[in-house]
Chains A and B, each alone.
Chain A
Amino acid sequence: MATRQQVQLNVNGEVYDLEVPPKRLLLDVLRDDLGLTGARRGCEDGFCGACTVLLDGKAVHSCSVLAVRAAGHQVLTIEGLAQNGKLHPIQEAFIQHGAIQCGYCTPGMILAARALLDVNPHPMEQDVRWGLTGNLCRCTGYVKIVEAVLAAASGQ
């Protein structure tokens, strides 16, 4: 039985040719093979959202995606969000609004927010809360997080 499979992954615009066991999770490839530790391991069950990355622009749980399934698709992690050394407006807003405490949930929150704003650039508070339902913050900073996303959306 084949124990390894060739996969070509496009992560943050860079192409990686890898050989992985088919059972390898996208989360493990990102963290352990590529050293992109922004995607966090939380529940490993699809509930916490700490491992959120964008797959072709849509939020997914990298703990629940096989690397072989991500082959041929565009993966965006938090490391790929800043452009030319300049933070993304959502990242800036999180800092400005104190939406980060321990920071464990932050990459997932910001990527989920980015996916939300791509589809709905001018959300109401309710839309933001709904868009972030899959992302838990154990420091319970939701109010600041929602404020930050709304601020980023309104260009503040």
Chain B
Amino acid sequence: MEDFEYLKPTTTAEAVNMLAQHSGEARAIAGGQSLIPMLRARLVGPAYLIGLEAIPDLARIQAVDGSLRIGAMATHLEVATSALVRQRASILAEAEGLVGSPAVRNLGTLGGNLCHNEVGADPPPPLLALGATAVIAGPGGDRKLPLEQFFTGFLETALAEDEILAYVDIPAQPPGLASAYVKYRLRAVDRSIVGVAVALAIEGGVCREAKVALGGVGPVPFRSRGAEAVLSGNHPDERTIEQAAGAAMAEARPMSDAHASADYRRKMVAVFTRRALKHALGMG
């Protein structure tokens, strides 16, 4: 590991200033669960690490103007067990409870997970299905970005070098939301081979609005507009579900790796989209 200096700002503004001052040489560190292995492997070698752990505002989970605001430094454990998250964004709490192992959940953070943007990460699909927004702090103040636009490429995000992810905002969900997150992996500590989150607004037996989000099956997590179009305005019966699962599969752009081949992943998209929809709708 290269040498670095460890700085510990106590406010978000101070953290942003430090990043700007050492632009190109500094990097934020949250729980370190992804970054420390990367430093050790010399994949990155910043001269300054900006530790975000002493900024209380970034660790808060709170209700703000009808939406749920989760600080980037909230740990996976805190998000998974928060009463507020369970009540308002239960599929996110479920997904966070499936991240890695207890030790990873104890230190790893929601913000670190999103900024790392690793293929197969669990929190992104539920957040996309719930229509979340990223609140990004930079030298010029805060900017908001739909989370869908936050993930720009393999291990890449929309953050500039002098910006940090401050919060994730989740809007109030329609009453009677039917939602589910299902994760497919072989060992408990693995990222998902396929992760599917669905959120359906059901009114009088008809799906008024549908969001279907996939992880693990493309360079970035994404919403399947095809599956959503099949479901929207329709009665979600077996046939519709089957069509939606096929549409999701057609949109997947998976890669092959040690865990699964691209072909296998693509097939599993249909299987797990079907399961997520049935689970959300109480059809087994």
Top 4 closest pairs, chain A to chain B, by CB: A134-B101, A22-B6, A133-B188, A58-B106
For the complex, is B100 an interface residue (Cβ under 8 Å from A)? yes
For the complex, is A3 an interface residue (Cβ under 8 Å from B)? yes
Closest to A133 in B: B188
The smallest beta-carbon distance between B246 and chain A, in angstroms, is: 34
B53 touches A69 (CB 8 A): yes
The smallest beta-carbon distance between B49 and chain A, in angstroms, is: 7
A59 touches B3 (CB 8 A): no
Closest to B40 in A: A44
Q: How far is the CA of A59 from the CA of B2 in the complex (A)?
A: 27
Q: How far is the CA of A112 from the CA of B47 in the complex (A)?
A: 34
Q: With A58-B106, A59-B102 in contact, do A22 and B5 touch (Cβ < 8 Å)? A: yes
A130 touches B188 (CB 8 A): yes
A64 touches B37 (CB 8 A): yes
In the complex, besides A22-B3, A66-B36, A68-B51, 19 extra interface pairs with C-beta distance below 8 angstroms are: A5-B6, A21-B3, A22-B4, A46-B104, A49-B103, A58-B77, A58-B102, A60-B103, A60-B106, A61-B107, A64-B33, A65-B36, A68-B6, A112-B102, A131-B102, A133-B101, A134-B104, A134-B189, A135-B101
A45 touches B37 (CB 8 A): yes
For the complex, is B39 an interface residue (Cβ under 8 Å from A)? yes
The residues of A that contact B40 with a CB separation of less than 8 Å are: 44
Closest to B190 in A: A47
The residues of A that contact B189 with a CB separation of less than 8 Å are: 47, 133-134
Chain A-chain B contacts (Cβ-Cβ < 8 Å), number: 79
Give A126-146 as 1s and 0s: 1 = Cβ < 8 Å from B's Cβ atoms: 000011011100000000000
The residues of B that contact A60 with a CB separation of less than 8 Å are: 103, 106-107
Give B50-63 as 1s and 0s: 1 = Cβ < 8 Å from A's Cβ atoms: 01010000000000
Q: Give residues 62-116 of B contacting A (CB, 8 Å).
A: 77, 100-104, 106-107
For the complex, is B131 an interface residue (Cβ under 8 Å from A)? no
For the complex, is B9 an interface residue (Cβ under 8 Å from A)? no
Q: With A64-B36, A134-B189 in contact, do A23 and B1 touch (Cβ < 8 Å)? A: yes
The residues of A that contact B101 with a CB separation of less than 8 Å are: 49, 133-135
The smallest beta-carbon distance between B156 and chain A, in angstroms, is: 22
The residues of B that contact A133 with a CB separation of less than 8 Å are: 101-102, 188-189
13 of the cross-chain contacts (CB-CB < 8 Å) are A1-B3, A1-B5, A22-B3, A22-B6, A23-B4, A44-B37, A45-B37, A46-B100, A58-B77, A61-B104, A69-B51, A115-B102, A134-B104
For the complex, is A52 an interface residue (Cβ under 8 Å from B)? yes
Task: Out of B1, B39, B77, B103, name the residue touching A134 (CB < 8 Å).
Answer: B103
Q: How far is the CA of A4 from the CA of B77 in the complex (A)?
A: 32
The smallest beta-carbon distance between A64 and chain B, in angstroms, is: 5
Q: How far is the CA of A131 from the CA of B36 in the complex (A)?
A: 23
The smallest beta-carbon distance between B26 and chain A, in angstroms, is: 12
Most buried by A among B4, B36, B51, B53: B36
A134 touches B100 (CB 8 A): yes
The residues of A that contact B188 with a CB separation of less than 8 Å are: 130, 133
Q: How far is the CA of A66 from the CA of B4 in the complex (A)?
A: 12
The residues of A that contact B106 with a CB separation of less than 8 Å are: 55, 58-60
Q: How far is the CA of A47 from the CA of B189 in the complex (A)?
A: 8
For the complex, is B226 an interface residue (Cβ under 8 Å from A)? no
The residues of A that contact B171 with a CB separation of less than 8 Å are: none
For the complex, is A102 an interface residue (Cβ under 8 Å from B)? no
Q: How far is the CA of A25 from the CA of B40 in the complex (A)?
A: 10
B53 touches A23 (CB 8 A): no
A23 touches B103 (CB 8 A): no
B32 touches A23 (CB 8 A): no
Q: How far is the CA of A61 from the CA of B47 in the complex (A)?
A: 24
The smallest beta-carbon distance between A1 and chain B, in angstroms, is: 5
Q: How far is the CA of A45 from the CA of B37 in the complex (A)?
A: 6
The residues of B that contact A135 with a CB separation of less than 8 Å are: 101
Q: How far is the CA of A49 from the CA of B77 in the complex (A)?
A: 17
